[in-house]
Amino acid sequence: MDACGCVDFASIFDRRTAERDRDRYHRSGPDRSTRALLDMIGRYRVSDATVLDVGGGIGVIDFELLRAGAARAVLVDASAAYLDIARQEAQRGGLTDRMGFVQGDLVARADEITAADIVTLDRVVCCYPDVEALVGATAARAGTVYGLVLPRDRWLIRVGIRLVNLGFRIRRRAYRAYAHANPAIDESLAAIGLRPRHEGGTFFWRVVVYDRDGPLGDASPTLLTGERM
């Protein structure tokens, strides 16, 4: 297995799963936790902002923010199947000229990735074993806004994730999910000037947006419309 687990990640998040996610997006729009993240980001000036979406799957966050006025988005994902669907969706929505696609582990390819005004990791922290490396590499590329969706720090959730991993082990899958300590993540981000400003989510998912003083925070917010492809 590679250092980030990307090979095993791609074996779980395959073409069939990507197509199912695409069809659900077409029917219902962003998932509840993703919508919460988008709504929080929409409190900032989205117009003309740049976006770095790490582990963004079929590109839901990218499409929504581009439609809300963002200038450009780069989607980084370990799954070739998900990126293929994302490219098809970008073409379908006329967004190809405003999107970039990078396959692989951002931590390993960090030197190739430029900074962006808005950086998002929607349900990515729970897929990555070395959370310090992931948060450090991605937060360093956040100009003003840094958005996370990650499992909450609750014993019941940790037990649930252990059971999920037991299922993977029984099926001889090397992929594992992770419940990283939320306070440690907050402390790491605070050390580089990113502090939690908006928070919400569900029982399982913590949705939190961090920011630092900068151009996005200085302007009047542009609220997202909720329009989807």
pLDDT in tens, 5-27: 455 666 688 999 999 999 999 99
Token pair in block for residue 28:
């219902």
pLDDT at 213: 72
Is 108 in contact with 83 (CB distance < 8 Å)?
Answer: no
Split at pLDDT 50, 70, 90, the class of 226 is very low
User: Taking the model in full, what pTM does it have?
Assistant: 0.90
Q: Is the pLDDT of residue 145 over 50?
A: yes
Q: How far apart are CA 160 and CA 139, in angstroms?
A: 28
Q: Is the pLDDT of residue 2 over 80?
A: no
pLDDT at 8: 66
HEC profile of 101-139: EEECCCCCCHHHCCCEEEEEEECCHHHCCCHHHHHHHHH
In angstroms, what CA-CA distances link 108 with 2, 79, 105, 114, 135? 10, 15, 5, 14, 13
In angstroms, what CA-CA distances link 58 with 33, 170, 186, 194? 16, 28, 27, 27
| For helices 60-67 and 80-92, angle between their N-to-C axes, nearest 10 degrees | 20
Parse the chain into domains and list their residue ranges. 6-218
Identify the residue with better confidence: 221 or 135.
Answer: 135
Instruction: Please state the rounded mean pLDDT for residues 174-182.
Output: 93
Q: Which CATH number fits domain 6-218: 3.40.50.11930, 2.40.50.100, 3.40.50.150, 1.10.1040.10?
A: 3.40.50.150
* Residues 6+ away with beta carbon under 8 Å from 159: none
- Across the chain, what does the average pLDDT equal? 90
Return the SS3 of 44.
Answer: coil
